Structure 1
Amino acid sequence: MINSPYEKYRQSSVKTSTPSQLLIMLFDGAIRFVRAGMEGIDSVDYQKTNINLGKAQTIVSELMSTLDPTYDISKSLYDLYEYINHLLIQANVKKDKVPAEEALQYLTEFRVTWLEASKLVPTHEKTHG
């Protein structure tokens, strides 16, 4: 049961979002978790680092699993997502911000790109679950 008004809003938001809005939400989450993981490295809170970089990896893995292989671009995107995941693993294992910063840069660029692309898609097309 959902008790928090924020949780109710968040679930409603997910259910009424377009596919491109959902994709941007995933990038927002990954970016937020990478930043939190980097904060953990800075503050030597390795539990925080591990939890948040792990959550970012989960999102990147989800992005990889939802690619449609019938499109040529999917292979390139898969390879880039795989590299971002590798960077996140390296940052987590070595407790090193450098690979996390590189991953963050890619995630931020992807978010900007998808945000721009979403403006080209008609907004009346909503997903229904």
Structure 2
Amino acid sequence: MNKNGYQQYKEQSVNTMTKGEMLLLLYDELLKRLMRAELALGKEDYETFTNSVIRCRDIVCYLRDCLDPQYAISSELRRMYEFFLYEFGRLEAGRNKEIIQEVRPLVTELRETFQEADKIAQY
């Protein structure tokens, strides 16, 4: 498959995803970037670390900006996302792996919650 064909396939896949699938994809990417940041710290690859943290921040900002204020859960999620952003700032400034180890389980739990909600919504 050529590069242009692959790009078209990726775009079509994203365009046909449900909102739940897209949300899970964003959380998966967030978890992947946290792992990449942690590995980069271990290798003292600070450029990859910084890029990964920036991408984490971008994903969380996107999630926060997409919240619909008409739902009560949105204010709770907004506070959680603001906490993540604060922690990512601390992470980037201090290069402390423990922050990743504290945030990752929270992100994982949110992802699993949304996965369950998506399953329920499909029935």
User: Match for residue 40 of structure 2?
Assistant: 40
Distance 1:101 1:49 in 2: 15
Of Structure 1 and Structure 2, which has the larger fraction of its residues in helix? Answer: 2
CA distance in 1, matches of 2:8, 2:92: 32
User: In structure 2, what is the Cα distance between the partners aligned to 1:107 and 1:40?
Assistant: 19
Query: Which deviates the most, 40-49 or 114-123?
Result: 114-123
CA distance in 2, matches of 1:32, 1:48: 13
Number of equivalenced pairs: 122
Q: 1:76 to 1:95 in 2, by over 3 A?
A: same
Q: Give me the identity figure in percent.
A: 26
Secondary structure of 1:100 counterpart: helix
Distance in 2 separating the partners of 1:60 and 1:117: 19
- C-alpha distance in 2 between matches for 1:21 and 1:33: 18
Structure 1 residue 5: deviation in Å? 4.7
Q: How high is the TM-score relative to the length of structure 2?
A: 0.92
Instruction: Report the 3-state secondary structure (helix = DSSP H, G, I; strand = E; otherwise coil) of the residue aligned with 2:122.
Output: coil
Residue in 2 aligned with 1:112?
112
Q: Structure 1 stretches (4+) deviating beyond 4 angstroms?
A: none
Shift of the 107–6 alpha-carbon distance from structure 1 to 2, 3 Å rule, reads farther
Is 1:3 matched up with 2:8?
Answer: no
Q: Is the 8 A contact 1:87 1:102 kept in 2?
A: no
Deviations 1:86-113 (A, max 9, x none): 1112111111111112221111111111
Structure with greater contact order relative to length (CA < 8 Å, sep ≥ 6): 1
CA distance in 1, matches of 2:21, 2:64: 17
Residue in 1 that maps onto 2:94? 94
| d(CA) in 1 for partners of 2:53, 2:8 | 26
Q: Tell me the C-alpha RMSD between the 2 structures.
A: 1.6
Alignment of 1:29-68 (within 5 A): 29-68=29-68
TM-score (norm 1): 0.88
Cα distance in structure 2, aligned partners of 1:122 and 1:43? 43
Equivalents in 2 of 1:77, 1:33: separation in Å? 20
